Structure 1
Amino acid sequence: MAMFQNLLPWIVLVTLLVPTMGNKTSIGEKAASNDWEDAHATFYGDMGGSETMKGACGYGDLFRQGYGLETTALSTVLFNNGLTCGACFEVMCVDDPQWCLPNVGTIKITATNFCPPNWDPAPDHWCNPPQKHFDLSMPMFTKLAQAKAGIIPIKYRRVPCSKLGGVKFEFHGNPYWLAVLVFNVGGAGDVTSVRIRGSNTDWLQMSRNWGQMWQTGSKMVGQSLSFQVTTSDGKTLEFDNVAPENWQFGQTFEGGSNF
């Protein structure tokens, strides 16, 4: 299923880391409606979740980063070239009394990985476009249905992300460029823009390398750092002096607020 995490080694990637049933919820440009949509779900990995770690969004150890096993890989159309990384969804098993567990309600999950398409001839490749598909962690799948079902029909919708603590910034790179993994983002969850300001610079626009890895070619070592983060619903927060001037690569810093 979602084996894409093995296709993006860090040597490349570090070129740079219960809702209501109302009618409308504005979460992202393409998810203004809170109506349920149809899709299917499978699972990958085992109950321990070791095979769901890392992934195409760049979050690395999902336990350490706070996402745990409440995660999913998305099919091509939902993943949207990584722009949906960090978005949260509510999912329920429907229309399959043989496999859907009775009276279990819904689960809430965060997009952390990509379920790649398979172009070999076959009746169904669920992650190929234009199909909408969720490849859940096994613990999440078994909250909805029996594991031996393999695949189930579901309904899903975008929902706000609820995160503990502030937005977090993990630093990678070298003295000549900086890559920042932005994670633990609440609200819409998916980040569409990051700007950085050093104590000796004006605001600089960072470019998205992949997933939620953002990078700048400007030398930022030895400066205290501030950030402006914008999510897909257009909201922007400023995080002043997140990191002191003696910050180091590999460190993670937490902003004082969240969406």
Structure 2
Amino acid sequence: MCAKVKFSSIALIVISIALIMGSFHCEVVEDNYGWDDAHATCYGGINGSGTMFGACGYKDLFKQGYGVETTALSTALFNKGLTCGACYEIKCTNSKWCLKNGTVLIHVTATNFCPPNYTKPTENWCNPPAKHFDLTQPMFRKIAVYKAGVVPVQYRRVMCHKQGGIKFEINGNPYFLLVLVYNVGGAGSVVDVKIKGSKTGWLQMSRNWGQNWDFHGQMVGQSLSFRLTTSDGKWVQADDVAPSYWKFGKSYEAKKQFSF
């Protein structure tokens, strides 16, 4: 069975991600993104249950397009949440537990955090400085025998191919916006967000946690535009994503997507 990696309360701060069966294919982000060594375990049920409401802020993964093709990252890879949304290609290596002699490749998106457990320094694979992927059970079963628990893998960052435009879920109150950014193509991981109301110029947002970005100010009654920058330095400007009558708790889709 999957290796048991205990999750801290921090990792479970917002537990509500359901998993999406949406599929995607990837290609290497850059030529210098070669294969690197790591290990992989898995968590959750065979249908992806237990992998929801992760530390990246995503919610219903099935509806949001990520499905069970996801992974939690160890501290060394998570980068305090800035890596959320990044895509990886992973293969099992050098183990009797690898399926088809390690020739199976899986593609996953980072949607959660695998926290360290310093009370078990020799048993917790997510302790720094280990590079580790805690895959959903369905993804782990594609590359290795389930009862292995933990297997050595090789991985590399790849481009994310997403269907449709970038999406923005708006939460908060009339004086505070908390915007979840998801379904991001290209590098996948957003590192900067700016917002513009129909009555304002461009204003800087702050990363609150995961891929939730906040702004302190009144934007109710204004149409909203966003300018995003991803970890590879590329940026997209999505004008008038949310109409002036936007509502809290609703998601809005841009007509723009990162290309490469």
Q: What TM-score results when the alignment is normalised by the length of structure 1? A: 0.90
Aligned to 1:13: none
Mapping 1:74-113, distance limit 5 Å: 74-96=73-95, 98-102=96-100, 104-113=103-112
Aligned to 1:201: 200
> CA contact under 8 A between 1:2 and 1:113: conserved in structure 2?
no
Residue 64 of structure 1 deviates from its aligned partner by: 1.3
Residue 3 of structure 1 deviates from its aligned partner by: 2.9
Within the candidate set 2, 7, 12, 1:3 is matched to 7
Aligned to 1:71: 70
> CA contact under 8 A between 1:53 and 1:60: conserved in structure 2?
yes
Aligned to 2:56: 57
> CA contact under 8 A between 1:2 and 1:73: conserved in structure 2?
no
Partner amino acid, structure 2, of 1:3? F
Q: Cα distance 1:250–1:173, how it changes in 2: closer, same or farther (>3 A)?
A: same
Residue 20 of structure 1 deviates from its aligned partner by: 5.5
Partner amino acid, structure 1, of 2:104? G
Q: SS in structure 2 opposite 1:102?
A: helix
Aligned to 2:173: 174
Q: Deviations over 1:118-159 (max 9, x none)?
A: 011442321010000000000000000110000000000000
Residue 19 of structure 1 deviates from its aligned partner by: 4.6
User: How far apart, CA to CA, are the structure 1 residues paired with 2:14 and 2:159?
Assistant: 30
Q: Cα distance 1:2–1:227, how it changes in 2: closer, same or farther (>3 A)?
A: farther
Q: Deviations over 1:160-204 (max 9, x none)?
A: 000000000000001111110000000000001010000111100
Mapping 1:177-256, distance limit 5 Å: 177-256=176-255
> CA contact under 8 A between 2:238 and 2:254: conserved in structure 1?
yes
Count of equivalent residues? 243
> CA contact under 8 A between 1:163 and 1:186: conserved in structure 2?
yes
Residue 7 of structure 1 deviates from its aligned partner by: 3.4
Q: Cα distance 1:242–1:2, how it changes in 2: closer, same or farther (>3 A)?
A: farther
Percentage of pairs with the same residue? 58
Question: Runs (4+) of structure 1 moved beyond 6 Å?
Answer: none
Aligned to 2:18: none
Residue 111 of structure 1 deviates from its aligned partner by: 0.2
**Greater displacement, 103-112 / 245-254:** 103-112
Q: Cα distance 1:120–1:9, how it changes in 2: closer, same or farther (>3 A)?
A: same
Aligned to 2:22: none
User: How far apart, CA to CA, are the structure 2 residues paired with 1:6 and 1:121?
Assistant: 17
User: How far apart, CA to CA, are the structure 1 residues paired with 2:183 and 2:195?
Assistant: 18
Partner amino acid, structure 2, of 1:7? L
User: How far apart, CA to CA, are the structure 2 residues paired with 1:159 and 1:2?
Assistant: 28
Aligned to 1:38: 37
Partner amino acid, structure 2, of 1:164? Q
> CA contact under 8 A between 2:12 and 2:54: conserved in structure 1?
no
Let me know the Cα RMSD of the aligned residues.
1.6
**Could you list the runs of 5+ residues in structure 1 that have no partner in the other structure?**
11-17, 27-31
Q: SS in structure 2 opposite 1:157?
A: strand
Residue 257 of structure 1 deviates from its aligned partner by: 1.6
> CA contact under 8 A between 2:97 and 2:144: conserved in structure 1?
yes
User: How far apart, CA to CA, are the structure 2 residues paired with 1:71 and 1:2?
Assistant: 18
> CA contact under 8 A between 1:193 and 1:231: conserved in structure 2?
yes
> CA contact under 8 A between 1:2 and 1:114: conserved in structure 2?
no
